Amino acid sequence: MTEQGERTISRRKNCATIPSAFRVQFHSTGAPNGTRSSSVPASAGKSKVGKALTILAWAALIAIAAAFVLKYVFHYYLNYNPKAFDPYWPRRAGLLLHISGGMVALLTAPWQFFTGLTGKRMNVHRYTGRIFLGGVTAGVTGATYLAFTTTFGWAFGFGILGLAAAWASTTAMAYYAIRKGLVEIHKEWMVRAYVVTFAFVTFRVFQ
């Protein structure tokens, strides 16, 4: 048996210990499904136009997130009074925890995607990833408190609780995947986690 064949069998054995939700099937080349073989550069096939569009898309997301933070989140920090908080004043601790965590997650995730896709400054990527996790944890905690103490009815509370659960689960899956060394799956779940994070911005825009 060739050395490459032995490596393939070894990888398949290791893969069998991973839960099915995260399991990566291997081709005969030994490369995971949906990923490139080690003999092919990761950047092969990416056009300059595609890279430019990706950069523009992330720049737009960052600009929207920053505008959201400046307009809505800072409003509560700069106007700490019952009139500004209105119905949230009795529950202002939960609201501030929620919006602070969400702000951290919104602003750190684009950097995570940039460093993760380019493969540069990965040490910083790991530390800012922990900051993102902390932001999501704070945001989910605050959202859960607001959901159970809402004055807007059970439907509103249930919706907030469901969104908090989706936020927590997608982020947890991304973290679990990277702890298992499943980089491609980690990237997929991080995209889902940021989509849920950005849902708060989307709701505010439509509102």
Residues 135 and 77 in one domain: yes
Residues 175 and 120 in one domain: yes
Residues 97 and 138 in one domain: yes
Residues 13 and 74 in one domain: no
Averaged pLDDT in 10-residue chunks for the chain of 207 residues? 51 46 41 45 59 73 74 78 87 91 86 72 84 94 94 89 94 94 90 86 69
81: tokens are 């009074």
Range of the domain at 15: 1-45
Residues 27 and 54 in one domain: no
Residues 4 and 65 in one domain: no
- Which runs of consecutive H residues, i.e. helices, occur in the chain? 3-16, 48-68, 74-78, 82-85, 92-118, 122-148, 154-179, 183-206
From CA 92, how far away is CA 127, in angstroms rounded? 29
**Into how many domains does the chain fold?**
2
